[in-house]
């Protein structure tokens, strides 16, 4: 399936991620079918898509208004029917192999033979999911970020049996709907962003657990220190700039980084005490105590809009 031939897109699963995909594909002018297991869930999802479109329109992110994209959206609780004419299927059901595999088997059985089958999984491997389908070469991982309709990045990666044309088509489709895709050269659990996040979260939990700082201060240190610069400068360019050239960085900073890395823990799952620390420290944060989640999310989205308005050009 070539990107220019993709007209009908089905989103399987209409939770947080499926709603975001449906919003984006509808804006892209595709015929979007949103599928989930219950009519109730689909009703909620459609309401959220409408809110997403209104929010984007109110903030100048939609050129032709919100009405036309919304008219491209349909729902169908019947998976077989929902995918029967799909050129591209974006699956966003819960993140575990048994559920993903069951859904992929169904999609594979009912979608057209040349349809692209993409998964939104935030950490599972396509090589494992595609073992259960008859045409594994059509399956690809296309990993978005919350809120899907606002964050530009998607990570695209194939499994062992994925055809390179499938990866390329998914990549080009993402570009067509305005995403900034990054292609991984090979699979790894958590892909790029979630691995970076996992490393940062482990250290943040350790800093709280070790009594170094409170959660409020750790998050403020991140936002006012790294965060303000991170939208423009990633960790590798940052190292280059910090050393006024990467060779000098390696020469000057290897020892101090060694001391930091040596003092960091290497645990790989939350102990009961870690869970306790994480829950109590985050619940003690002033923003979490003072505002409902919905208000925090709305504020985050307004701030994201401001960021998106900044034109990101290379110097
Ligand atoms: N939440 C995030 O921050 C995030 C970010 C990126 C990727 N993802 C990935 O996206 C996927 C979905 O995550 P989410 O946050 O939207 O989850 P969610 O729980 O909000 O939504 C999942 C939806 O799938 C539906 N569902 C369950 N079984 C189904 C089936 N057999 N057929 C059709 N629909 C079914 C559920 O009813 C629910 O509406 C996961 O793989 C997750 O890892 C999540």
Sheet with 73-75: strands ordered across: 73-75, 31-35, 8-12, 88-91, 116-119, 139-143, 153-158, 180-183
Nearest CA residue ID for atom 12, ligand 1: 92
Which atom of ligand 1 sits closest to the CA of residue 119? 41
Tokens of 282: 């985050």
C-beta of 144 in contact with ligand 1 (< 6 A)? yes
C-beta of 14 in contact with ligand 1 (< 6 A)? yes
Q: What is 3-183's CATH number? A: 3.40.50.720
Q: What distance in Å separates the CA atoms of residue 139 and residue 307, rounded to the nearest whole number?
A: 33
Q: Where are the domains of the chain?
A: 3-183, 193-309
Strand, helix or coil at 116?
Answer: strand
How does DSSP assign 43-95, residue by residue? HHHHHHHHHHHHHHHHTT--SS-SHHHHHTEEE-S-HHHHHTT-SEEEE---S
C-beta of 83 in contact with ligand 1 (< 6 A)? no
- Give the pLDDT of the chain (315 residues) as one tens digit per residue: 888 999 999 999 999 999 999 999 999 999 999 999 999 999 999 999 999 999 999 988 888 888 888 899 999 999 999 999 999 999 999 999 999 999 999 999 999 999 999 999 998 999 999 999 999 999 999 999 999 999 999 999 999 999 999 999 999 999 999 999 999 999 999 999 999 999 999 999 999 999 999 999 999 999 999 998 888 899 999 999 999 999 999 999 999 999 999 999 889 999 999 899 899 999 999 999 999 999 999 999 999 988 888 766 666
From 1.10.10.10, 3.40.30.10, 3.50.30.10, 1.10.1040.10, which CATH number describes the 193-309 domain? 1.10.1040.10
Cα(260) to ligand 1 centroid in Å equals 37
Q: What distance in Å separates the CA atoms of residue 287 and residue 254, rounded to the nearest whole number?
A: 37
C-beta of 20 in contact with ligand 1 (< 6 A)? no
Contact assessment for residue 31 and residue 41, using Cβ atoms and an 8 Å cutoff: no
């Amino acid at each position: 399936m070539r990107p220019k031939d993709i007209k009908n897109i089905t989103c399987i699963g209409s939770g947080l991620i499926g709603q975001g995909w449906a919003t984006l594909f509808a804006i892209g002018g595709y015929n979007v079918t949103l599928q989930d297991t219950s009519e109730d869930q689909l009703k909620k999802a459609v309401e959220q898509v409408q809110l997403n479109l209104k929010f984007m329109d109110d903030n100048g992110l939609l050129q032709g208004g919100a009405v036309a994209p919304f008219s491209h959206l349909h729902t169908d609780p019947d998976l077989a029917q929902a995918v029967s004419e799909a050129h591209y299927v974006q699956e966003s059901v819960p993140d575990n192999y048994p559920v993903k595999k069951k859904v992929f088997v169904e999609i594979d059985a009912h979608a057209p033979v040349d349809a692209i089958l993409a998964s939104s999984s935030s950490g599972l491997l396509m090589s494992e999911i595609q073992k259960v389908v008859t045409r594994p070469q059509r399956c690809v991982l296309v990993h978005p970020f919350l809120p899907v309709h606002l964050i530009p990045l998607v990570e695209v990666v194939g499994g062992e049996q994925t055809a390179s044309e499938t990866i390329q088509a998914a990549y080009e489709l993402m570009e067509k709907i305005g995403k900034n895709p990054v292609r991984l050269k090979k699979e790894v659990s958590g892909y790029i962003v979630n691995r970076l996040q996992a490393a940062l979260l482990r250290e943040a939990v350790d800093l709280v657990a070790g009594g170094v700082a409170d959660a409020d201060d750790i998050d403020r240190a991140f936002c006012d220190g790294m965060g303000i610069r991170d939208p423009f400068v990633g960790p590798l360019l940052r190292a280059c700039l910090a050393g006024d050239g990467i060779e000098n960085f390696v020469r000057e900073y290897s020892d101090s980084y060694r001391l930091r890395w040596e003092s960091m823990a290497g645990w790989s799952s939350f102990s009961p005490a870690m869970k306790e620390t994480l829950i109590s420290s985050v619940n003690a944060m002033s923003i979490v105590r003072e505002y409902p989640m919905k208000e925090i999310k709305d504020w985050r989205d307004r701030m994201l809009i401001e960021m998106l308005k900044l034109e990101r050009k290379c110097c």
